[in-house]
Amino acid sequence: MSVLEQAPRFDAAGAERLARDLYGLEAAASPLPGERDQNFLLTTVRGERFVLKIANPAEPLALLEAQNAALARLEPLGICPRVVPTPGGEAIAGADGYRVRLLTWIHGAPLGAVARRPRHLLEEVGRRLGQLSAALDGFDHPALHRRFPWDLQRGFDVVARHSPLVADPALRELVRRVAGYVRARDGRRLARLRRSAVHNDANDYNVLVDPSDDGSVTGILDLGDIVHSYVVAEPAIAVAYAVLDDAEPLEAAAAVVRGFHAMRPLGDDELSVLFGLVLLRLCVSVCMAAAQLRERPGDEYLAISQAPIRRTLPALASIPPDVAEDTLRRACGLDPRFAEPSVAADVTRVRRAERIGPNLSLAYADPVKVTRGWMQYLFDETGRRYLDAYNNVPHVGHAHPRVVAAAAEQMRRVNTNTRYLHDALWRLAEALCATLPEPLRVCYFVNSGSEANELALRIARAVTGRRDVIVLDAAYHGNTTTLIDISPYKFNGPGGDGAPDWVHVAPLPDDYRGPFVRADPAAGRSYGHAVGRLIEAMAERRRQPGAFICETCPSVGGQIVPPPGYLETAYRHVRAAGGVCIADEVQTALGRMGDGFYAFESQGVVPDIVVLGKPLGNGYPLAAVVTTRALAHAFDTGMEFFSTFGGSTVSCAAGLAVLEVVRDEALQAHALRMGARLLADLRPFTARHELVGDVRGRGLFLGIELVRDRATLVPAAREAAVVVNRLRDRGILLGTDGPFHNVLKIRPPMPFADHDADRLVEELDDALGRVAR
């Protein structure tokens, strides 16, 4: 069967003749779009308008009768055209072997031509469609039980049959994969769904809206695709078109479904498969277009209509179906899908306390039990969604499907260690080195930031033969014995033993709280010279630095961005004294700062050793040390370096996927823009809230320092905790940091978006306004 029946070929004069001969109408005709039928707008001399429809000869008479019967049933809704009979009373007239109908004209602009589609308009589309669906409840006609490729009951067959015709191999693969996934997840549930007559084509050119106000739907047109099928196909098809090119497709889908559900309630199973049917409809559209294109090669209209689907389908396909289901359920006011009532959060807490060491802490007065993550969101056991403005480990987003797929696929094949040849290892090393300047060209992979810092210290010791280390005040570098020894945040904190004699603490280059402030153009160099003075003082005690280790932007130290010139000066002093410069970029790497892939880039230095951790595996344990060939050779002392899990094939696959996503989703540029807009929104807080002493940072690495008194800078730690707990209660996750625990830390997964920023700023503003001092 041809997918594209030959449409009738009347010209305007022919249409005018039909109008005169059959309906006694003196009218001017102009062609309207139509795929199978031929349609004309008729305008009479009195200015009345009608639509003349000349049916495709392949369309059975019974189907036209069914459409007319459906239109009669929908008439009370006032949004569908009415059939105008001939003066002789015929609803379907015949002429020249064609079947002709006259319909009333409905004013309005196609939704597809409206530039702005506010959510309330989409909700109204859903409501109107829900009314239409309710009106068709119980309506039936033998002609509706037809074999029709646009019927979603046949969707998988259509994809199987026509997807080989999709020219673009990436799109072809995607369509097959998506359809296969929908079938695997939803196939059995689909078989049980309730069915009815459905309009089956509420695409954005069949929905008319009032162009003069952006809230009302004036028409739902074209019953040409009417078929007996899944009731839920109705909203699914509307959603499939409403989400195209929408930056927030789930929100757009939720609006349509909310409206539909209000008028025609959907069941659990229907809501469960709805998003899958959205994907299936788009897959069918791609496949049908490919098939039609084969019959009408070079038909640009067919190709152009596919462009938004190509743009949107990959993003839609990467939304976990249960996240979509959850969003749609909540849009309908139903229980969330992620609810896990079997183990309540307080039970989890008790069981954990029984078997887990007591010095593991929990965030928030009311700790969050997480059951799912998706990009910049976390979900708790009740299905509540939290905006994650804190976690930088899921760098490219919680559960990013590309990282998940890469790691799972590699896990299925083999996961082994670096004593065997495997291409993932060198590929990751190459990809990483490509992001770093010369001469940082040799990589070691380990499992944690701590292991990486340990290794960096070992390399520095092997190279210099010295043990002494210079660290920054308030720094944290990891949880091993040696790293606690070089972390003032720990050895000077509760339970700490103070600095060992081989550890030397340089001042934190904090240009808000420290002796040299932001307004001082020499502040960076002054902090750098402090390192030089420390080295002089060490020399007096006959000690020489083996290494200077510092976070380029101290995070635990309070989201500090050192003033310009700091590292340049400090590194100069360290190198002059024969020390190795280690940059701990565990918190700041991979584009987070926006202006560079690494934070050290903005300080105009190249470290001797770079340490990477947290974001590198997007949560899969993966950390790295990158150094120069010279240092790597010096470290090759004859003692093997081996880490059982470090550089495992799966971790390398995950790391590669992370680097690819950062590049492909342009996340560094995104962080730069998002940071600038957040700072622009947050800086005025210093004027609005007395408590806010400083707003600082760059990219998606920001800090808000709270003080009780702007003159003495007395830290407002209790207030910071109150704010963070309030935000947690409001569904936003933040943390505090800094030596006085008074800095609000904003460091979200990189997909953090504009609407997230709006929410964060608004809630922060509110929380800061409420906190009593």
Question: Residue with the closest Cβ to ligand PMP?
Answer: 449
Nearest CB to ligand PMP, comparing residues 284 and 440: 440
Which DSSP string do the residues of 412-448 spell out, in sequence order?
HH----TTS--HHHHHHHHHHHTTS-TTEEEEEEESS
Q: Using the structure block, give the residue that is written with the tokens 């920054």.
A: 472
Distance CA 22, CA 41 (A): 16
Q: Residue 517 Cβ, how far from ligand PMP at the closest point, in Å?
A: 24
Nearest CB to ligand PMP, comparing residues 272 and 487: 487
Distance CA 501, CA 468 (A): 8
CA contacts within 13 A on the Cβ side of 131? 16
Widest Cα–Cα separation across the chain: 114
Q: Which two tokens stand for residue 238?
A: 């509307």
Distance CA 23, CA 374 (A): 59
Q: Which two tokens stand for residue 62?
A: 């019974």
Distance CA 652, CA 645 (A): 11
Q: Residue 345 Cβ, how far from ligand PMP at the closest point, in Å?
A: 25
Q: Residue 42 in contact with residue 49, Cβ under 8 Å? A: yes
Residue 357 CB: number of other CB atoms within 10 A?
6
Nearest CB to ligand PMP, comparing residues 479 and 725: 479
Q: Residue 729 Cβ, how far from ligand PMP at the closest point, in Å?
A: 25
Nearest CB to ligand PMP, comparing residues 242 and 403: 403
Q: Residue 625 in contact with residue 640, Cβ under 8 Å? A: no
Amino acid at 348: T
Nearest CB to ligand PMP, comparing residues 512 and 620: 620
Nearest CB to ligand PMP, comparing residues 259 and 596: 596
Q: Residue 450 Cβ, how far from ligand PMP at the closest point, in Å?
A: 3
Nearest CB to ligand PMP, comparing residues 418 and 587: 587
Q: Which residues bind ligand PMP (CB under 6 A)?
A: 448-450, 453, 476-479, 551, 555-556, 584, 586-587, 613
Q: Of 583, 624, 596, 625, which is closest to residue 435 (Cα–Cα)?
A: 596
Nearest CB to ligand PMP, comparing residues 306 and 448: 448
Nearest CB to ligand PMP, comparing residues 298 and 494: 494
Q: Residue 447 Cβ, how far from ligand PMP at the closest point, in Å?
A: 8
Respond yes or no on whether the N-terminal peptide bond of residue 439 is cis (omega within 30° of 0): yes
Q: Residue 708 Cβ, how far from ligand PMP at the closest point, in Å?
A: 27
Q: Residue 587 Cβ, how far from ligand PMP at the closest point, in Å?
A: 5
Q: Residue 601 in contact with residue 561, Cβ under 8 Å? A: no
Q: Residue 621 Cβ, how far from ligand PMP at the closest point, in Å?
A: 8
Nearest CB to ligand PMP, comparing residues 555 and 627: 555
Which DSSP string do the residues of 293-338 spell out, in sequence order?
HHHSTT-HHHHHHHHHHHHHHHHHHTS-HHHHHHHHHHHTTPPPS-
Helix (H, G, I), strand (E, B), or coil: what is residue 743?
Answer: strand
Q: Residue 480 Cβ, how far from ligand PMP at the closest point, in Å?
A: 8
Nearest CB to ligand PMP, comparing residues 617 and 715: 617
Q: Residue 411 Cβ, how far from ligand PMP at the closest point, in Å?
A: 21
C-alpha pair distances (Å), 159 with each of 43, 280, 288, 295: 41, 9, 8, 17
Q: Residue 615 Cβ, how far from ligand PMP at the closest point, in Å?
A: 11
At residue 516, what are phi and psi to the nearest 5 degrees? -110, 120
Nearest CB to ligand PMP, comparing residues 104 and 479: 479
Say which residues have a Cβ less than 8 Å from residue 749's Cβ, sequence separation at least 6: 375, 376, 388, 391, 392, 394, 395, 396, 397, 398
Question: How far from the centroid of its chain's Cα atoms is residue 320's Cα?
Answer: 11
Nearest CB to ligand PMP, comparing residues 220 and 586: 586
Q: Of 115, 614, 122, which is closest to residue 394 (Cα–Cα)?
A: 614
Nearest CB to ligand PMP, comparing residues 328 and 622: 622
Q: Of 285, 181, 211, which is closest to residue 241 (Cα–Cα)?
A: 285
Nearest CB to ligand PMP, comparing residues 453 and 742: 453
DSSP letter (8 states) at residue 658: H
Distance CA 427, CA 424 (A): 5
Say what the alpha-carbon torsion angle 432, 438, 444, 450 is, to the nearest 10 degrees.
-90
Distance CA 690, CA 708 (A): 8
At residue 380, what are phi and psi to the nearest 5 degrees? -95, -175
Q: Residue 585 Cβ, how far from ligand PMP at the closest point, in Å?
A: 8
SS (H, E, C) 283-304: HHHHHHHHHHHHHCCCCHHHHH
C-alpha pair distances (Å), 405 with each of 71, 78, 391, 467, 659: 48, 49, 21, 43, 14
Q: Residue 220 Cβ, how far from ligand PMP at the closest point, in Å?
A: 55
Q: Residue 555 Cβ, how far from ligand PMP at the closest point, in Å?
A: 6
Nearest CB to ligand PMP, comparing residues 292 and 487: 487
Task: Let me know how long the chain is.
Answer: 773
Nearest CB to ligand PMP, comparing residues 186 and 584: 584
Q: What angle do CA 643, 647, 652 make, to 5 degrees?
A: 165
Helix (H, G, I), strand (E, B), or coil: what is residue 553?
Answer: coil
Amino acid at 202: A
Element (H, E) at 261: helix 249-263
Rounded to 10°, the helix 649-664/667-682 angle is 60
Nearest CB to ligand PMP, comparing residues 285 and 487: 487
Q: Residue 641 Cβ, how far from ligand PMP at the closest point, in Å?
A: 18
Distance CA 463, CA 621 (A): 27
